[in-house]
Amino acid sequence: MIRNEELEAVLETIDLRNDAPIEEPMRQYYFIKKAREIVNAESEKLGRRLTADEETFGCQMNAKDSEKLIGILENIGFEMMDDESADLVFYNTCTVRDNANQRVYGRLGLIHSMKKKNPHKKVALCGCMMQEPTVIEKIQKSYPFVDLVFGTHNIYKFAELIVSMYNSDKMIIDIWEDTDKIVEDLPAERKYSFKSGVNIMYGCNNYCSYCIVPYVRGRERSRNPKDIIREIEKLVSEGVVEVMLLGQNVNSYGKNLEEPMTFAQLLKEVEKIEGLERIRFMTSHPKDLSDDLIQVMKDSKKICRHLHLPLQAGSTRILEAMNRRYTKEQYLELAAKIRREIPDISLTTDIIVGFPGETAADVDETIDVVRKVQYDNAFTFIYSRRTGTPAATMPNPVSEEEIKANFDRLLEVVHETAKSRVGRLLGETHSVLVEESSGTQLSGRLSNNTLVHFEGDAVLVGTIVDVKLTEAHGFYYIGKINMQEHRLEELLQKCRHRELPEEKML
């Protein structure tokens, strides 16, 4: 990520009378400057600044991508707003489940009438859903008013694509099947001043039979560790106290680097960064989670006591059909090892119900894993068929009614075990990163990622405070700040003297 003042210094050196550079990121700096000219001209015509709205669907990776897209929009002159009536609306899409696709189509139907009333309005689509050929065909046929379509591999080209969009009266489509390119040092606008996601790798090599992600995100490619450390150091210098290291499977980080480095080794380097208080990461594939990683987490003072370890199914037969490459027994053994080595760990998971051919007996196996592992939380989904994946062609004789009944049975056990796990810290005092405020009501997260609500001054947003957990309510706690008065007053005074933008006081 490049700071605004650094970007401005580079833009001063660019002469738009010359051809665009070939090398990145200089090429994109050239188009940022060119896009500014276009946006300024359009703003003069309207007599006001152009506005833009982002609508993001899906995972943390998509949210991080949107921060980059917003950063580019703001640098070329757009004013961001939270309203689809904006002059430019972009939808950063997800395609993990079909209902995500349907939500996007629904929004496009509504936006069409807005565009009829405002001919200058622009609509852009990007993200995972755009990597599906059938989606592109449908957009061209049913939504010809869309101005720009691009995918997951070339989001860094956003400024260049905006220039193309404004210079054309036709739909611009720029979809890449794959890439080995990672372009650093582009603008980004973080949602929070005190925490940030950091991409450490892109793509996935696992090809689980139900999952579209490897087809839309491409093959694994890891970022250079020095670039990752440099980015985190810069974030910390700007006030970030917590980072989330992001990847489709962080446990396979570093395998394609010229000088291989394991994820455990990367974590050790990140932990050395002064001023960084907390380290999170996701997602971990069970088949790649090493003993070294467990040991690093055990010994660390900064890595949060939370591990998201997707199960997907508890039946070995179904796991094999899913191409997960571990058995029920291997998963249970891994979970037991993690609990043994890190007793205060919070384990969360993902579970799919209704995979083709899954019976009630298979779901019983999943419920057995939930009872034995005792997850702090589980994200449960009914299987969604994704065209292009191996599972999409598998027969599924199980009725929707039985799938729904199995899902409800599982959900009941998930809630039961999660409630008992969350309640175990009742009466104790723990550190909480304050993330949001509403009047005098503050909300934040424990190291184990459990939500806590408590009374306090809004200036504490972005700081870490000690909170006594006084009530347990299912998936969250009610608490009370439990700090010595002089320490709390010192912290409040320090917070009052810092700059805290109003938009961060959520």
What's the pLDDT tens digit per position in 3-43? Answer: 889 999 999 999 999 999 999 999 999 999 999 999 999 99
Entry pTM: 0.90
Q: What are phi and psi of 317, to 5 degrees?
A: -60, -45
Question: What tokens appear for 347 in the block?
Answer: 């384990």
Contact by Cβ (8 Å): 312, 350: yes
- For residue 243, the surrounding DSSP H or E stretch is strand 242-246
Instruction: Determine the Cα–Cα distance for residues 257 and 223; give it in Å rounded to an integer.
Output: 8
* CA distances in angstroms from 138 to 135, 145, 150, 257, listed in the order given: 5, 12, 14, 38
Say how many residues make up the chain: 506
Instruction: Determine the Cα–Cα distance for residues 442 and 457; give it in Å rounded to an integer.
Output: 8
- For residue 275, the surrounding DSSP H or E stretch is none
Dihedral over Cα of 450, 455, 461, 463: its sign = negative
Question: What tokens appear for 294 in the block?
Answer: 């467990």
CATH code 3.30.750.200 region(s) in the chain:
305-424
State residue 281's pLDDT score.
97
Q: Rounded to 5, what percent of the chain is helix, strand, coil?
A: 45, 20, 35
CB atoms within 10 A of CB 281: 27
**Nearest CA to 247 among 214, 289, 199, 208?**
199
Q: b/e string for 382-414 if b means 16 or more Cβ within 10 A?
A: ebbebeebbbeeeeeebeeeebeebbebbeebb
**Residues 6 or more apart in contact with residue 6 via CB below 8 angstroms:** none
State residue 499's pLDDT score.
52
**Residues 6 or more apart in contact with residue 409 via CB below 8 angstroms:** 363, 367
pLDDT at residue 503 tops 50:
no
What's the pLDDT tens digit per position in 331-374? Answer: 999 999 999 999 999 999 999 999 999 999 999 999 999 999 99
CATH code 2.40.50.140 region(s) in the chain:
426-504
What's the pLDDT tens digit per position in 426-449? Answer: 999 999 999 999 989 999 999 999
Question: What tokens appear for 237 in the block?
Answer: 């210098």
Give residue 231's pLDDT band: very low, low, confident or very high (50, 70, 90): very high
CATH code 3.40.50.12160 region(s) in the chain:
4-174
* Long-range contacts from 314-318, C-beta under 8 angstroms, 24+ separation: 314/362, 314/363, 314/365, 314/366, 314/367, 314/368, 314/369, 314/370, 315/358, 315/361, 315/362, 315/363, 315/365, 315/366, 316/365, 317/362, 318/355, 318/357, 318/358, 318/362, 318/365
Give residue 506's pLDDT band: very low, low, confident or very high (50, 70, 90): very low
Instruction: Determine the Cα–Cα distance for residues 188 and 345; give it in Å rounded to an integer.
Output: 32
What's the pLDDT tens digit per position in 219-230? Answer: 999 999 999 999
Q: Cis link prior to 25 (omega < 30° from 0)?
A: yes
Contact by Cβ (8 Å): 285, 310: yes
* CA distances in angstroms from 498 to 198, 239, 274, 491, 493, listed in the order given: 25, 10, 20, 11, 9
The domain covering 426-504 belongs, at the CATH homologous superfamily level, to Nucleic acid-binding proteins (2.40.50.140)
State residue 475's pLDDT score.
85
For the structural domain made of 4-174, what CATH number should be given?
3.40.50.12160
How far from chain centre, in Å, is Cα 490? 34
- For residue 469, the surrounding DSSP H or E stretch is strand 464-473
Give residue 158's pLDDT band: very low, low, confident or very high (50, 70, 90): very high
**Nearest CA to 244 among 185, 187, 308?**
308
For domain 190-292, the CATH architecture is 2-Layer Sandwich (3.30)
Instruction: Determine the Cα–Cα distance for residues 406 and 400; give it in Å rounded to an integer.
Output: 10
CATH domain 305-424 topology: Transcription Regulator spoIIAA (3.30.750)
